[in-house]
Structure 1
């Protein structure tokens, strides 16, 4: 008998987290150990999001943190994508010193918030109450999409984010970092 993990030899078993970055709130979702199903965790204020995500990753032994990267329909990135990249880089930096840190990955999340609002509306939830849970629903959608990619390809979804190890006073690498 084979387990779901046997079908994906390149991916270790473990929890994955999904993150939807907003200006004010950040939605957080998590998967089961086999990476089959995404479920909502909570919505947190943006200013404490990194600390809460890191705590959830440590508590759950997360193997990957999938941060939604909002792109325009034409694939370009704007201010919202820059905020998602910044949070992903903060997470990667904070995890860099760990023995086996979870991967931090940016996953294309075009239209997930719009789709989350539509799903909440179809479920009968009033529009003014969407704000409290829409980020969680969007995080679930981001994570579920990434889990589906993992199952179909045997590889992690998205773009790997690595910690920057350059000293800010070390010339060109620092200049690139400052230009972001």
Structure 2
């Protein structure tokens, strides 16, 4: 586990960041560009057992040259952490046993709402929204983190 501001220091040239939106039935995945400025939704992984979920994630990380992970932490509106946040932390503890990729948490409050709103504005059908919502939420999570890194000067445009 690392602080978000430290995450870019772990990346080799050309590596990307992955964004994850961990749900009970699915895992939304997004990936940054190499310049750490834009998050793009990727596939949604249907959750099965941890081992299968981890294998699917690790394969995606390898394919997209991922050097670090930003995962949404489902914090309550009052800032406290409930059972979903604890479940997310447990998932990451288990994933860290399988990979040395650094992981940073990002407050995911309202990310799914924002993703749903964006898909509505793009006039995406209800069925397509259901298919894309988790990866879109992962992209919102990652984009928020990328914007914070850029604003703090940690991820420079000439990276």
TM-score band by shorter chain is 0.7 to 0.9
Structure-2 residue corresponding to 1:124:
123
Q: Detail structure 1 runs of 4+ shifted over 4 Å in the superposition.
A: none
Give the structure-1-normalised TM-score.
0.72
Say which is worse superposed, 109-118 or 11-20, in terms of deviation.
11-20
1:14-163 aligned within 5 A = 14-47=15-48, 48-95=52-99, 101-155=100-154
Could you tell me which runs of 5 or more consecutive residues in structure 1 were left unpaired when the two chains were aligned.
1-8, 96-100, 157-180
The whole-number CA distance in structure 2 between the counterparts of 1:113 and 1:69 is: 12
Say which is worse superposed, 71-80 or 49-58, in terms of deviation.
49-58
8 Å CA contact retained: 1:29, 1:136: yes
Deviation of 1:71 after TM superposition, in Å, equals: 0.7
Deviation of 1:155 after TM superposition, in Å, equals: 4.7
- Is the partner of 1:63 in helix, strand or coil? strand
Could you tell me which runs of 5 or more consecutive residues in structure 2 were left unpaired when the two chains were aligned.
1-7
Say which is worse superposed, 54-63 or 142-151, in terms of deviation.
54-63
Say which is worse superposed, 58-67 or 141-150, in terms of deviation.
58-67
Summarize deviations over 1:145-169 as a string: whole Å, max 9, x none. Answer: 111111122459xxxxxxxxxxxxx
Summarize deviations over 1:93-152 as a string: whole Å, max 9, x none. Answer: 111xxxxx3211111110101111111112112334322110000000011111111112
Deviation of 1:54 after TM superposition, in Å, equals: 1.3
8 Å CA contact retained: 2:29, 2:139: yes
Structure-1 residue corresponding to 2:5:
none
The whole-number CA distance in structure 1 between the counterparts of 2:47 and 2:68 is: 20
The whole-number CA distance in structure 1 between the counterparts of 2:128 and 2:66 is: 30
The whole-number CA distance in structure 2 between the counterparts of 1:10 and 1:44 is: 28
